[in-house]
Amino acid sequence: MQDNDGTWASYRPSKTMWAWSLVGACAFTMVVGFTWGGWVLGGRAQVMTDNAVRQARAELVADVCVHNFVNAVDAEHNLEALKAKSTWERDDFIRDGGWTTVAGIDESVASAADACARKLMEMKALPQVEAAPVTGS
């Protein structure tokens, strides 16, 4: 297969060798793509999309919950009561308080109350709520 001068210039692979080389290159590309390249099949992509939508919805409702909680009349008292609850009682406290209720969403959003309670527990103090200016006409 080598020339007399030691180069591979005159090497001509057979059609079988070409075919197996292509099969091997394709298999190698797929293994690398699916293990390290981040490739996924359609079913897995749909599951990942559904999880991302569920998480984004819960975060949105949790942010609304924190806003509702902070703007409630007795927010300081409610925050103290929340901090007095055990970890597994906090989401029930938030849900029972109605702070996770969002107009237009009929069903409760899974894990929104837990995320809301977690965000409220991270607060050192409640932010000052400024009253909206009253304009006369």
Who has greater pLDDT, 24 or 135?
24
Q: What mean pLDDT comes out for the span 28-37?
A: 95
Map out the domains of the chain as residue ranges.
54-122
**Confidence class of residue 6 from pLDDT cuts 50, 70 and 90?**
low
Dihedral sign from CA coordinates of 50, 55, 56, 57: positive
Q: What mean pLDDT comes out for the span 67-76?
A: 91
pLDDT, residue 62, reads 94
Q: Which of 50, 46, 28 is nearest to 37 (CA)?
A: 28
pLDDT, residue 104, reads 83
- The torsion of the CA quartet 82, 80, 128, 100, rounded to 10 degrees, works out to 20
pLDDT in tens, 75-94: 999 999 999 999 999 999 99
Query: In this model, does residue 132 exceed pLDDT 70?
Result: no
pLDDT, residue 8, reads 80
CB atoms within 10 A of CB 49: 10
DSSP state string for 1-59? ---TTS-STT----HHHHHHHHHHHHHHHHHHHHHTS----HHHHHHHHHHHHHHHHHH
Q: What mean pLDDT comes out for the span 14-34?
A: 96
Q: What mean pLDDT comes out for the span 31-48?
A: 95
Place of tokens 């103290």: 80
**Confidence class of residue 121 from pLDDT cuts 50, 70 and 90?**
very high
End-to-end CA distance of the chain: 97
CA 132 to chain centre: 34
Q: What is the mean pLDDT of the chain?
A: 88
Q: What mean pLDDT comes out for the span 37-60?
A: 95
Contact between 116 and 65 (Cβ < 8 Å):
yes
